[in-house]
Amino acid sequence: MPIATPEIYAEMLDRAKAGGFAYPAINVTSSQTLHAALRGFAEAESDGIVQVSTGGAEFLSGATIKDMVTGATALAEYARVVAAKYPVTVALHTDHCPKDKLDGFMRPLIDISLERVSKGLDPLFQSHMWDGSAVPLDENLEIAKELLDKCARARIIMEMEIGVVGGEEDGVVGEINEKLYTTAEDALATAEAVGVGDKGRYMLAATFGNVHGVYKPGHVKLRPSVLKEIQDAVGAKYGKDKPFDLVFHGGSGSLLEEIQEAISYGVVKMNVDTDTQYAFTRPIAEHMFKNYDGVLKIDGDVGNKKTYDPRSYGKAAEAGMAARVLEACQSLKSAGTKIS
């Protein structure tokens, strides 16, 4: 199947909310991790979302180039070719973009999609995330209004964040404090500023104790009921049931029952990064330890080409990450729900 069209992506999100499941959004940083994500979705018979962060996009452009737009564009174009060979539908998304990177990442990518759409093509990415969590809410919403209008014209769904996700991602650190919990007042202000779908479709990353990074189960103090509170408050005002398409960030270390409770309140997308990074790297570490004398030319020896060929450990890494993607689909109840 090809990359999702704007219409199919909208259908995917509608099906998730109506069906009580969420799509794993898998962060990728290379062609190999992209294939791992696609393979995991295929094995789960689940559609899904593949996403790239600012740091991931920079890495994809080349370690000496460090151009986020180049890396993101290359990923999107490559994905269009290879995803067509997998029996699932995937959407392409860009992850957290803070204010200081808008002009070097999100805005230029939207411009590319505007140009594509003007020629009758689909947008380059199906959704982009504006992360205004580090600026005051008023400023966050003003920028969101501008970006949502531009995204809507480019047939793109915008994601935005209110509240703060704790922990660290791509060098951005969020403190663990009361701002981890979005209030009903914040949600009402958001609906007032950017509507509830009438001004362009968007997803909302509302926080309920989320923390980026890896933690043991029980460390992260989630309160999924916060999501119900904001849905109820905004829904009552606008006469809509579960008006927001919610996104779950920072899920590592979360209990399965907490994840599934969050889904019941309208979460349609959950970001998965830390866990899949480990699942990719763990088989590589095992390969290196088991084949120490083969991957190194010790004391002038020749080593073993079969073990230091990147394909030998790359295949194991892909399989390990794909298995974790399959697990995510099962946890989020998207397994077996593919559109076709």
| Mean of pLDDT over the chain | 93
Question: Annotation-wise, does 340 bind a ligand?
Answer: no
**What pLDDT sits at residue 340?**
83
Question: Annotation-wise, does 239 bind a ligand?
Answer: no
Any idea which residues carry the catalytic annotation? 95
Give residue-wise pLDDT tens across range 96-141: 999 999 999 999 999 999 999 999 999 999 999 999 988 999 999 9
CB 266 within 8 A of CB 246: yes
Return the ∠ at Cα 174 (arms to 95 and 130), rounded to 5°: 30
Question: Annotation-wise, does 314 bind a ligand?
Answer: no
Question: Annotation-wise, does 213 bind a ligand?
Answer: yes
**What pLDDT sits at residue 173?**
44
Domains of the chain, CATH where assigned: 6-332 (3.20.20.70)
**What pLDDT sits at residue 219?**
53
**What pLDDT sits at residue 220?**
57
Rounded average pLDDT over 24-43? 98
